[in-house]
Amino acid sequence: MHATTLYQINTRALLTELSRTLAKPATLDDIPDQLLDSWKEYGFEWIWMLGVWQTGVAAQTVSRTHSGWRHDYQASLNDLREEDIEGSCFAIADYRTHTLLGGDDALLRLRRRLHDRGMRLMLDFVPNHMALDHSWIASHPECFVRGSEERMRSEPMNFFRAYTGQIFAHGKDPYFDGWPDTVQLDYSHPTTIHKMSEELDRITKLCDGVRCDMAMLILPDVTQRTWGSPALPFWKENIERIKVSHPEFCFLAEVYWDREWDLQQLGFDYCYDKRLYDRVLHEGAEPVRLHLLAGLDYQNRLARFLENHDEKRARETMSDERHRAAAIVTYLCPGMKFFHEGQLKGRRVKISPHLIRRPVEETNLELQTFYRKLLDLLKEDFFRKGRWMLLDAKPAWPGDDSCARVIGFRWKGEDGRHLIVSVNFSDRSASARLRVSIDRTCASDVVLRDWFSETRLEQHRGQIFNPGLEVNLEPWGFRIWEEIDS
């Protein structure tokens, strides 16, 4: 599969900032061309505009009155105002572009501007639930999981009385209480399948791909565990149907609980790689290396990330040194390269999807420079047309076991050139030898240039295979050797 880059934008927070600059309410039409040009310059191929759909008053009221959520808001915005709390962008009242953002026409104009720059637009699809005041509650109540007076008394966190007087379930997953600003869709009912298929069809006319929120929640076994009845099939049939008329349309699944392979088999182009994220954040080199032993048919369809709107900022969870090492491992492996707005500048504050404003933060210039170099590297053909291979890290000399802390892999381009990556994924120095078969026959010696330091190294191609390319790395250090013409 074609490796691609995705950039997630918090649409409402961006427009709030533009509104202050313009001294008027900003819409999608006000996103400046210069900003779109900068996304293109970074090399992003997909722009995910988070939170464009119409939300309602009911969800906003819940967001503004929920004491636990308000604590989170105030932790990220010490000057919190009521107008900052718009309501969760995942409590969708209508799959139409929010009127405050300019409506569908403004969204289509933005899409055209992205297309003019060779970029594609990704939007949210939230299959599990709708907003509390969604119109289907009155017109199609069969689409939602029903409750009873008894269940509402015994589980007030999971059931509520709707504006029609009927009792429904809040949207939830099997491990947590319900989200009180949502109503749970019932995928055991054919009408739900039909209506959500229609919504998906409508969305395909507005964008080039969808990021499907918590996509595993509507798998039959998950709904059985959560609600006591299995879901009717949805993903496979709808993905196949849409691919017939829109073969390039992209489906990205947010997925947890090691269900990535299952969703890939149902047709998803990419699935979140939460397992790699957890390992680079909390574990050492060996668990990361074991994860990277998976087959390329699986790895090529994973979305690798260090941040998103659900996770804490990378700078908040890791030292800058570990952050850089984790980025090298995460983004130079196969699969979609998924970046989060603010990550490239080293933002520390994660904001809730209920908020439309974020705090002002200073840019970390060192991390910004690092990410610019990394994204420039990702523009190389290695990552689109090359072949990836995990390398064994052998001892640099007898008795040295520090090689266990080194992760090594290589990319081989169509022209036979190599890119050799080594990362010391630990807080201690490490050395290793990486055996790489440089099989180009045009020269006996190979000239390598380090992508970040511009250092050059010349070695005989036979030595790089046996005994192997020696790397000596500081804690969390890395080297990226690109084969160049001598």
pLDDT given for residue 274 in this prediction = 97
365 CB neighbour count, 10 Å cutoff: 10
CA distances from 10 to 47, 48, 110, 142, 294 (A): 11, 9, 15, 33, 32
pLDDT given for residue 2 in this prediction = 63
CA 357/CA 351 separation, integer angstroms: 8
| pTM score of the predicted model | 0.96
Assigned token pair, 381: 């053909």
Assigned token pair, 399: 């008795």
- Count of CA atoms in the C-beta half-sphere (13 A) of 350: 16
User: Quick one: three-class SS letters along 127-145?
Assistant: CCEEECCCCHHHHCHHHEC
Domain with CATH 2.60.40.1180 in the chain: 386-484
Return the CATH class of domain 386-484: mainly beta
Taking only the tens of pLDDT, the chain with its 486 residues reads 567 999 999 999 999 999 999 999 999 999 999 999 999 999 999 999 999 999 999 999 999 999 999 999 999 999 999 999 999 999 999 999 999 999 999 999 999 999 999 999 999 999 999 999 999 999 999 999 999 999 999 999 999 999 999 999 999 999 999 999 999 999 999 999 999 999 999 999 999 999 999 999 999 999 999 999 899 999 999 999 999 999 999 999 999 999 999 999 999 999 999 999 999 999 999 999 999 999 999 999 999 999 999 999 999 999 999 999 999 999 999 999 999 999 999 999 999 999 999 999 999 999 999 999 999 999 999 998 899 999 999 999 999 999 999 999 999 998 888 999 999 999 999 999 999 887 655 557 888 999 999 899 988 878 888 888 999 999 999 999 998 876
Residue of 363, 280, 292, 365 whose CA lies nearest to 325: 280
pLDDT given for residue 459 in this prediction = 84
5-383 belongs to CATH 3.20.20.80: yes
Domain with CATH 3.20.20.80 in the chain: 5-383
The structure tokens 């030595």 sit at 463
Residue of 168, 248, 176 whose CA lies nearest to 214: 176
